[in-house]
Amino acid sequence: MKRKTIISGFSKLSREEKMEKMGELTGSAEQIKAKLDSFRLQNTEQQNLLDEISENTLANFYLPFGVAPNFLINDHLYHIPMVIEESSVIAAASRSAKFWARHGGFNAQVVSVVKSGQVHFIWKGETNKLHNLLPELKFDLFRASQELTINMRKRGGGIQNIELIDLSDKMENYYQLHVTFDTADSMGANFINSCLEKIAQQTKHFFKHYEGLSDVERECEVIMSILSNYTPDCLVECSVECSLDELDNIHPGISGKEFASRFQKASKIAELDIYRATTHNKGIFNGIDAVALATGNDFRAIEANGHAYASKTGKYKSLSKASISDKRFHYQVKMPLSLGTVGGLTSLHPLAKFGLELLGKPSAKELMMITAAAGLANNFGALRSLITTGIQKGHMKMHLTNLLNALKADYEEKKQALEYFAHKTVSYNEVETFINSLRTKLQ
């Protein structure tokens, strides 16, 4: 039966009181407290910091912090931090990185770093008159926002442009002010939103006090002002390439030419079929999200951005592409990545700070290239498995330890299971049967 109890004032309760409330729902307050307390840090200062990062915090939810070593990117070697619960992701990234480090490494470049936001408003005057007012409005808005942008401008960023977008044919009297930004090394969400809210206020003020407007034209209804997580002009490219001969030993029994041909066809399928494209791009985000988490970046915004970009033609497609020319194999990804290395969790969260230190304290542009390389590496590793051994063989081998832990296997049982399944297919049923057989022998 579903509970219908509404909890009022929950955020104002102490942590102990919140746990008591949770206990009332489950009938086990003491067990809840014991379990949640076991996941809190002994370091009080750091725990208090984590508590204040979010709302209504009761404990910490741990995810493994790992490293994928040997990424040679633009002739610089990186050991990339990754936070993810799926062991095969880091294994695939590491395997791909090691292979490409021996074949020229990853080549990456940042194409552009423009981010944007909109002020959405209703104005009931003539469209031509609004366009005529735009130069004066823009001047007023840049001047009004100078105080907010002064520090960002010192770092080379700031507001780049303000454009008027007429959407009155789609919704009556609806317009946008489309504002573009350069946020330097910060992700810039708070900066952008603060600027947009100031621009929204000043826009209303501009129309209200502009001489010569009718009463109707003086009214500007701002619906909302907010950044966009779609940043098609904050782009990074990353690629790998080698001769077909260099692929000869990538998998036993398959020549480099055959491997490249099958790989290219698999990549092409992800361009043609949305079902495959979705899973294909998920493989890219396995690497990208893991780096984003490890460096304190917003993986949800990154995902939304990437999937929107994959649909920019009106059809959802793969973000990476393989090609063969002049007996050379080429694989690349081109996608938007809005990342930051200052502000937010990047400096607050101790492990996010360490993740950036491990990368040599990169700039935002450098982190874009590193993250894109991680995504391409995971994607390459996934397709490599798909066109050779199949995805489950390697994935389930890595998942074996998780299955053993779920079955509460002890050290000796794990040791025997790892030996037994070294060259066998791994499935939950097979592992469970094997562990039960070991336990039966001991009875």
* Catalytic site includes residue 37: no
Q: How many degrees, rounded to 5, is the angle at CA 59 between CA 57 and CA 63?
A: 115
156: left (phi over 0), alpha (psi -120 to 50) or beta: left
User: Which amino acid makes up residue 364?
Assistant: A
Tokens of 111: 């194409």
CB contact at 8 A, 299 and 99: no
CB contact at 8 A, 291 and 80: yes
Radius of gyration of the chain (CA): 27
* Catalytic site includes residue 178: no
Q: Which of 182, 289, 298, 366 is catalytic?
A: 298
Query: Dihedrals φ, ψ of 393, to 5°?
Result: -60, -55
CA-wise closest residue to 365 among 219, 204, 187: 187
Straight-line distance from the first to the last Cα atom of the chain, in angstroms, rounded to the nearest whole number: 41
Tokens of 332: 């690349």
Q: Residue 337 and residue 282: Cα distance in Å, rounded?
A: 15
Q: Residue 142 and residue 160: Cα distance in Å, rounded?
A: 10
CB contact at 8 A, 182 and 115: yes
As a whole number of angstroms, the longest Cα–Cα distance in the chain is 95
Q: Residue 326 and residue 210: Cα distance in Å, rounded?
A: 64
Tokens of 201: 């206020």
Q: Which of 86, 241, 246, 273 is catalytic?
A: 86
Q: Residue 202 and residue 159: Cα distance in Å, rounded?
A: 15
Q: Residue 268 and residue 297: Cα distance in Å, rounded?
A: 31
* Catalytic site includes residue 86: yes
Q: Are strands 107-110 and 235-243 parallel, antiparallel or unpaired?
A: antiparallel
Residue pointed to by tokens 């491997």 = 259
Residues 6+ apart with CB under 8 A from 108: 73, 74, 236, 237, 238, 239, 369, 370, 372, 373
* Catalytic site includes residue 282: yes
Residues 6+ apart with CB under 8 A from 438: 413, 416
Q: Which of 282, 330, 353, 414 is catalytic?
A: 282
Query: Dihedrals φ, ψ of 408, to 5°?
Result: 55, 40
Residue 333, beta-bridge partner list: 238, 320
CA-wise closest residue to 82 among 367, 380, 374: 374
Active site residues: 86, 282, 298, 395
